[in-house]
Structure 1
Amino acid sequence: MAAVPQSKPSADSSQKKGGRKRNENNRIYANPLPITFSRTENRFTVTALSIFGVSPAQVLNPRCEGTFDPTTRSVWITNPKDSMTLWRRGFFGKGNLSRSEPSWLARQSHIRATTAGRHITSEEVTAKRRAERKQFKLDRAQAIAAAAAEAEAAFAEGRIISADETGVLIPSAATWKPSDLTRSIASPASESLQEVTDLSLEPLEDMEHMQLTLAEAFFLTWALDCLTICHPETLEPMTLREIWVAFQTAYLSPLLQASPSQAHGLRPDNPFLINYVFFHHYRSLGWVVKNGVKFSVDYLLYKRGPVFHHAEFAMVLIPVYEDPDDVKSSPFAISNLEPFTWQWLSTINRVNSQVQKTLVLSYVTIPALSRLSVGELSSPACFKRYTIREIILRRFVPARMRD
């Protein structure tokens, strides 16, 4: 049997399917982590290392800087260059005035540019359409009322008239056009437009900063050594020991923060440790871990990042005590500690199934306090005591799962 020749895709097929934007994203977000590697240019070093099968490379560390904020339990990155570096190399953090990427300054600059060029923004287009729709409803209601009044008057006189004889034209959405008065109400006034244009001449100050969660900040500091965290009061760089204690103390109540003790501050069930174990585990496996409050879960796992694909997995972090007696002495209000109801699980699973996400229950086992020494709790050495187990929960749809 002769093979059927397959037609080759056209040259511009990738461009039609967003190939140009995809290639641009691949270029901008090419690095999965802030630390990058570059090959050395020393020929002697290349030749000597090639004999032993070693590829020579130089580590390029961005050395970003942030400030710890205990009130919001986050680390603030105020340098725009560092913010874009951390976002474009691993999608770390979130802009405090943006949904994800710190883009407030770019959006405000675009709005001022369009206003100065007498172009209306998308918000103004929406306001104009709403005003026209409201005026159309008023005109239609007045026309219907006038036609009804004339029909009632004719009925009282004992005669019947047709719709054409009433002389009242009821407008429709296809034929109705806004009047000059409606246009003047919907469009911005010239005085306010001139005022905004004058304000656009002033330099625009960037009011946005990036916020890193404590898990993200500790991962960048301890695992990658590319972030320096400063003290919120002295603005001096904090040591790893100071960061370790400060991040755990941030989850204590104000009364315990005033006089933190070894028994309350350094415990294996500290929410910072539980969340960091979860974050480090999946981040080390190559997943991009982001907050999942939008879909009523704890975290979302992206294969490459939110720019390329939607999140594939919706994660619910469930802490489990190895020793149930440790719950009685815990000073923390740990979420998801109580057993879930089937109604709650069914609701969460239905929500994430509608957006094509797989619900995963991630159980983080908290080691028993009795078998942890003070030295282990005083350093990241305690992380080796934690374990993680996953359970995938899916809806059973008989019509789709017969095969």
Structure 2
Amino acid sequence: MDGGGVRWKNRDAAAIADADPMSKIIYRLQSSLEQSETCGLFSGSAVLIQAGSELTKLLNRACFGRPIITAPPTSSCSLKGTKYKLDGEQQSADLQWFQLGMEEAFYLNYSLNCLTICRSTREGRQNLNAEEIWRHMKERQKMFLQHYKAYSHLRAKNWVVRSGLQYGADFVAYRHHPALVHSEYAVIISSESDVGQARLTTWSDWQSTLRLCGSVAKTLLVLSIMPRGNKTDETSPTCLDDYFVEEFEIRGWIAEKHREDPRSGKDKT
């Protein structure tokens, strides 16, 4: 990925991004989550966390989750050792609820090892280990393994990854915070496991997808999730090591840029 289509949103944006790279922001977020002993609570296909003002700033800057206003389900969770009721009681004014997608939550839990995830039971809150979280997420999302492998692949390279649903893609990837730069890539995940549901299987699929990407000034990035050998046991997240990611940047061919200039007898490129 060369990120050739960088479109900063203002003339100072590139300098701001260089002065505070995403890798450093992620490190500060990781440290803050570890120190606060923040616990995420499963809510359907998302994970809810409660953040103080400093953690809220870091989550926003690192582009993890989205702030929410609606009350989470009845339960309890802790922040810095203090128990908070989640049954509609008044919460502290400096606390903000965030909703993390499953890939985001598992990245913080498994890859960065800085977020505990729990579930609500009749006996109270129950912390989950990585295998239990993995099984829960795979049950909620059939292609979670492939989606997480692609998400973590991009995040590890310090790309900001967001949903690409509005562009007909799995993800969109930003060089830095979306307030500073437009997304450069529309990401589609390809895998041997999505037989019968695979996209981009015909020329018309490719043509329409490339036209859409071109109309929103994005490069199509296909991430192919491939097994290293024979099929492995997918009941544990350790199976992620048995897969690798191949990147394919797909760009439309523009005839006007490649035809010969009749006045000079030279190719325009």
Distance 2:199 2:11 in 1: 46
Sequence identity (%): 24
- Cα pair 2:40 2:116 within 8 Å, conserved: yes
- Pick from 280, 285, 288: which aligns with 2:160? 288
- Name which of 204, 228, 239 aligns with 1:343: 204
**Mapping 1:206-245, distance limit 5 Å:** 209-233=97-121, 234-245=124-135
Segments of 5+ residues of structure 2 without an aligned counterpart are 1-9, 70-90, 260-268
| Structure 2 equivalent of residue 393 of structure 1 | 250
Structure 1 residues 259-308: Cα deviation after superposition (integer angstroms, max 9, x where no partner):
xxxxxxxxxxx511111111111111221111111211111111122122
Find 2:145's aligned residue among 243, 261, 273.
273
AA at the equivalent of 2:40: G
Partner residue of 1:158?
none
Larger Rg: 1
| Aligned partner (choices 38, 44, 50) of residue 64 of structure 1 | 38
Conserved in 1, the CA contact under 8 Å of 2:25 and 2:58?
A: no
Report the equivalent of 2:189: 317
Partner of 1:31: 24
Distance 2:107 2:48 in 1: 15
In the alignment, which residue of structure 2 is the partner of 1:122?
none
Structure 1 vs Structure 2 CA RMSD: 3.7
**1:299: which partner in 2?**
171
* Structure 1 residues 37 and 245: alpha-carbon distance in aligned structure 2, compared to 1, 3 A threshold: closer
Partners in 2 of 1:401 and 1:383 — Cα distance? 42
Alignment of 1:4-403 (within 5 A): 19=12, 23=16, 31-35=24-28, 61-69=35-43, 71=44, 73-81=45-53, 82-88=55-61, 90-96=62-68, 209-233=97-121, 234-251=124-141, 270-321=142-193, 336-337=197-198, 340-366=201-227, 371-372=231-232, 374=233, 377-402=234-259, 403=269
Amino acid at match of 1:379: S
Q: Name whichever structure is richer in helix by fraction.
A: 1
Offset of 1:211 from its aligned partner?
A: 1.6
CA-to-aligned-CA distance 1:219-276 (integer Å, 9 cap, x gap): 101111111112133323222232122222223xxxxxxxxxxxxxxxxxx5111111
Query: Aligned pair in 2 of structure 1 residues 60, 380: CA closer, same or farther (>3 Å)?
Result: closer
Q: Match for 1:216: what amino acid?
A: E
Aligned-pair CA distance for 1:344: 2.3
Q: Across the two proteins, how many residue pairs are aligned to each other?
A: 226
**How far, CA to CA, are the matches of 2:94 and 2:14 in structure 1?**
27
Q: Output the CA distance in 2 between the equivalents of 1:79 and 1:315.
A: 30
For 1:336 and 1:238, the matched residues in 2 are separated by: 32
How far apart are 1:62 and its partner, in Å? 4.9
Considering Cα pairs closer than 8 Å and 6+ residues apart, tell me whether 1 or 2 has the greater RCO: 2
Counterpart CA distance in 1 for 2:24 and 2:102 is 22
Encode CA deviations 1:54-96: one digit per residue, 9 max, x unaligned. Answer: xxxxx97453321112x3x1111233544433222x2111234
Distance 2:187 2:152 in 1: 14
Question: TM-score, structure 2 length as denominator?
Answer: 0.70
* Structure 1 residue matching 2:162: 3-state secondary structure: strand
What TM-score do you get using the length of structure 1 for normalisation? 0.48
Letter aligned with residue 31 of structure 1: K
**After superposition, what is the alpha-carbon deviation per residue over 1:138-171, rounded to whole angstroms, capped at 9, x for unaligned?**
xxxxxxxxxxxxxxxxxxxxxxxxxxxxxxxxxx
Give unmatched runs, 5+ long, in structure 1: 1-16, 39-58, 98-202, 252-269, 322-332
